[in-house]
Amino acid sequence: MGNLSQFGSQKPSGPTGVRHLTVSPEHAGQRLDNFLLRELKGLPKSRVYRLVRKGEVRVNLGRVGAGYRLRSGDTVRIPPVRLGPADDRPPPAGLETGPVLFEDAHLLVLDKPAGVSVHKGTGVRAGVIEVLRSQRSELPFLELVHRLDRDTSGCLMLAKSRAALTGLHAALRRDTGEPPVVKRYLALVRGQPGEARIRVRAGLRRNLVRGGERMVAVAEDGEPAESVFRTVRPGRLCSLVEIELLTGRTHQARVHAAHIGHPIAGDRKYGDREFNKAMRRAGLRRLALHAHSLEFIHPVTGEPRRVEAPPPAVFDSLSDDVR
């Protein structure tokens, strides 16, 4: 049987036979989809997820979801697939990953710029993780701890060791007994919230298709999602708010903001078109959502940490100018 330490070493362009790989202790905790995406380079992401949904990928002879976290000793069955050529070109020059906010032997936190993807995908040749792996080829391990939308700026955490990755994933899940990672965002929203503090509990359902575009929507049968909105600077046209995410669902801050009637400025997917036009006339050229701070217990040293990414200057100027 193979071992996860061999992942990514093969670059076939033709069909491969059935493979059975055994998960080693140092790779325990990795999500199945992330493992498959790295192992099956050249295969479209949609095809990878379809293999999982159809049960062609098995773990310990059974069907599991794409979010299943591999455990030491698990046996992963990969079916025969035809792989396209792996794209081994270096990331395009000049792609900014943002300044380093914190770094030690186990963690790296960046202030990701707006407009930069965290990883490659459809129509995106490279993102932050590919650039950093290219720039820091001496690092034996470098993985995203979490993700940010392409148009969201701010604190992005990466793990430089498996222990850091698994520890932080446990903290992010908030159901393991570990002290949670506290994620706070700053956003410019339409109008002025009627209360200084609003707690939103509204389940979210993914992959709804509207107008040919995949969306996330509030739904009673959706995954539980909870956010807390606090008004920092109220205004007439827009207000600066802090959003604390108590869960980590896709597009949670954006969908919850729209759900309470205060969509985020510059949000072309869930926002208000006329409000976005007004904010653009006022000088906004981006989604007004910024991952402002992370608070967590260091998964290896046990020390409490708070890392902040300063808000973009346009947030302060617009929240002052458009009152």
191-to-115, 207, 237, 245, 295 alpha-carbon distances in Å: 25, 29, 5, 21, 29
**Residues counted in the chain:** 323
Q: How many CB atoms lie within 10 A of CB 51?
A: 18
Residue among 74, 111, 149, 272 flagged as catalytic: 149
Instruction: State how far the Cα of 72 lies from the Cα of 243, in Å rounded to an integer.
Output: 37
Exposure of 78 by Cβ count < 10 A (0-12 exposed, 13-18 middle, 19+ buried)?
buried
What proportions of the chain, in percent to the nearest 5, are helix, strand and coil? 20, 30, 50
Instruction: State how far the Cα of 258 lies from the Cα of 39, in Å rounded to an integer.
Output: 38
The answer to whether residue 111 is catalytic is no
65-to-31, 62, 83, 216, 283 alpha-carbon distances in Å: 10, 10, 22, 19, 44
| Among the listed residues 302, 307, 303, 278, the one whose alpha carbon sits nearest the alpha carbon of residue 291 | 307
Q: Which residues are catalytic?
A: 149
